[in-house]
Structure 1
Amino acid sequence: MTTNSAGFPAAPEVLRYTAFATDPAGGNPAGVVPDAAGLDDAAMLAIAAELGYSETAFLTPGVGGTGAPGSSERSYSVRYFSPKAEVPFCGHATVASAVALAERDGAGPGDYVFATRAGTVPVTVAEADGVLRATLTSVAPRIEEAAPDDVTEALGALGWAPGELDAALPPRIAFAGARHLVLAAATRARLADLSYDFTRLEALMRRLDLTTLQLVWRSGEFDFHVRDPFPVGGVVEDPATGAAAAAFGAYARDLALVPADAVLTLHQGEDMGRPGVLTVTLRDGDARVRVSGAAVRIPPGA
């Protein structure tokens, strides 16, 4: 544990980044603690709660690498905390963390390995037109049927009528590091009007071990608008959700909504005034899903 000049534990460095946007006012803010060695669960939860972002990532250099600039394998163990609880995996905080590491101490673009509770997640940072983008590769995904009674309860909590769903995109529970219930709205107006029973939806999500609901409206062959209620994390809505994007990519492929080899564009945060763009890449013959996006540091005081 790092100590200060008086020999007391030093406060950990906490960075603030927004992911899936190039404007600090867009995308999804995340906290990044680049060296969480010595922090216990209570300390990490307290930091996440104080920041108030949907997630904060806590990184510790891992056994597989030093995490130092120039290291051929920059490996970290990573834990993710919302203001209320730990979550197994968080995509936007992963993207934010990788870009933060690339910028910190001049480490630069390159490959990282994140060991998460959900499994090993490789991340590559690359620069294009002066912007750093990170691409994470999910753990192996899986898709499950959603029980009709659970779908009915979710719709009741959302205030949606069954007829407002898009029958071409049936409800499923999708996993690519965390579990998400996918519900597709038949119209953009239905997706835009989000006002739900926080307590009722939280209870359902805890029972089903869901991280978010992935609410979707299909705007084109490979284009989707999405929203993610996140009451189990103490947040009404997540502005840009990389874990849900990975799960949705697996869902879309599993239901043959898109080809096995495809690039999807997900638009999220517009209805919150924090627009972001998530790129989801599917590769034929590889079950894993890749999610890409830019990330930028949030200026002090912003």
Structure 2
Amino acid sequence: MAPSNNLSRSGGRGDDEAASDSLLITIVRACLRDGRGGSPTAVVDESGSPTMTDADRSRVPGRVGASHAVFLRRASADEPVGLRFFAAEGELPACGHATVAAVAFLAAQRPGAEQEFGLRVSGRTFVGRAVRAGDLIHAAFDPGPVVVRDATWAEIGPVVDALGVAPGHLLAGACVASLGRARILVPVSTPDAVTGLGPRLDRLRAVCDRLGLLGCYVYSAPTRSGRVVARMFAPSIGVPEDIANVNSTACLAARLSTSGFGRLSVDMGDVVGEPATITASARPGPTGPRVLVGAAAVVAGR
């Protein structure tokens, strides 16, 4: 996959009818593990550019081989940077690994080992922090309040069946959690039970659509140190399997914080050949657990 592309603004027309002006796309690999792998994410700075249509934005991830794209717009240097997120099926209210990519993109544009940026997503304003070590940029942010409830068996049963969870590997404690959109979190016994899943994606999509879920995040029982292996399936938004899912990891941190796990390190992406790692911590807050998520990223090219 090429690290950057000039995407013609076709406005839904065929390539031979596309306008001559083009759009610069930056690829950021977010949620690296030991400097490798990560999720390729398209970053587009729309500041000062003509406004694209949402249909155009939805086409960007597929054009560059990414699962998601983030679009930045800055009204002025004193105002927060607005972020919008798109997958093939349309706009998302939030996307954690694309937020990591956006922070890395902004940090790469100016000098300094430590930087902060005001960000605005779906009407919420917060701070993204970046620490640079050579080409690697570690980004961290508070994804916002997580709403968690226990899943019902009417939700768990059809999801587990579509996932192909082997008998005896399902653990108690499945939940539905939301950071903008609801997703189901399903615990299984071991990392091998996670990597060995063979989901029937058509069936999983139908189940998630019927239940109003973004997708399904399957995770192994955490070790004492908080190490977890996870996979995220979101066929309803055009992402059969996500390389890294930061927001679902934030949801998991909120869920497990009541069980004594203040910090998690979650490995994802190995099954699809792109190792990724996300860290998350949670501490008590006035309205529930306050979560901080972080991951390493690198700007792969413009």
TM-score of the superposed pair, with normalisation by structure 2: 0.84
Which whole-Å CA distance do the structure 1 matches of 2:204 and 2:29 have between them? 27
Structure-2 change in CA distance of 1:258 and 1:98 (3 Å) = same
TM-superposed CA distance for 1:114, in Å, is 2.2
Name which of 41, 44, 48 aligns with 1:30: 41
Distance 1:180 1:112 in 2: 28
The equivalent of 2:86 in structure 1 is 81
Determine the structure 2 residue equivalent to 1:271: 271
Q: Is contact 2:80-2:125 (8 Å) kept? A: no
Equivalent residue runs for 1:283-298 within 5 Å: 283-285=283-285, 287-298=289-300
Alignment map for 1:49-198 (pairs within 5 Å):
49-62=62-75, 66-67=76-77, 73=78, 75-104=80-109, 106=111, 109-117=114-122, 119-128=124-133, 131-161=136-166, 163-167=168-172, 170-198=173-201
Displacement after TM superposition at 1:128 (Å): 4.0
Structure 1, residues 40-96: CA drift from partner, whole Å, max 9, x if none? 21111122332231110011114xxx24xxxxx561111111122211111111001
Q: Which residue in the other structure is 2:8 paired with? A: none
Q: 1:97 to 1:201 in 2, by over 3 A?
A: same
Distance 1:275 1:208, change over 3 A: same
- Is the counterpart of residue 39 in structure 1 residue 41 in structure 2? no
Instruction: Flag structure 2 segments of 5+ consecutive residues without an equivalent.
Output: 1-18
Task: For residue 130 of structure 1, report the CA deviation from its aligned partner.
Answer: 5.8
How far is the alpha carbon of 1:10 from its aligned partner?
A: 3.5
Aligned residues of 2:264 and 2:280 also touching (Cα < 8 A): yes
Structure 1 residue 214 displacement after superposition? 1.2
Q: Any idea what the Cα deviations from partners look like across 1:147-169, whole Å, max 9, x if unmatched?
A: 211111101111225632123xx
Alpha-carbon distance in structure 2 between the residues aligned to 1:211 and 1:276: 21
Change (3 A) 1:39 1:284: same
Q: Distance in 2 between matches of 1:291 and 1:235?
A: 22
1:35 and 1:83 map into 2 onto residues whose CA distance is 19
**Deviation at 1:14?**
0.8
Query: How high is the sequence identity, in percent, across the aligned residues?
Result: 25
Give the Cα–Cα distance (whole angstroms) in 1 for the partners of residues 86 and 204 of structure 2.
20
Q: 1:9 to 1:16 in 2, by over 3 A?
A: same
- What is the SS of the residue equivalent to 1:164? coil
Q: Structure 1, residues 179-223: CA drift from partner, whole Å, max 9, x if none?
A: 221101112222111221111111222233322311100241211
Q: TM-score, normalised by structure 1?
A: 0.84
Aligned CA distance change for structure 1 residues 109 and 206 (closer, same or farther; 3 Å): farther
- Compute the RMSD of aligned alpha carbons: 2.3
Q: Which amino acid aligns with 2:269?
A: G
In the other structure, the counterpart of 1:242 is 246
Q: Aligned residue pairs: how many?
A: 279
Question: Conserved in 2, the CA contact under 8 Å of 1:22 and 1:296?
Answer: no
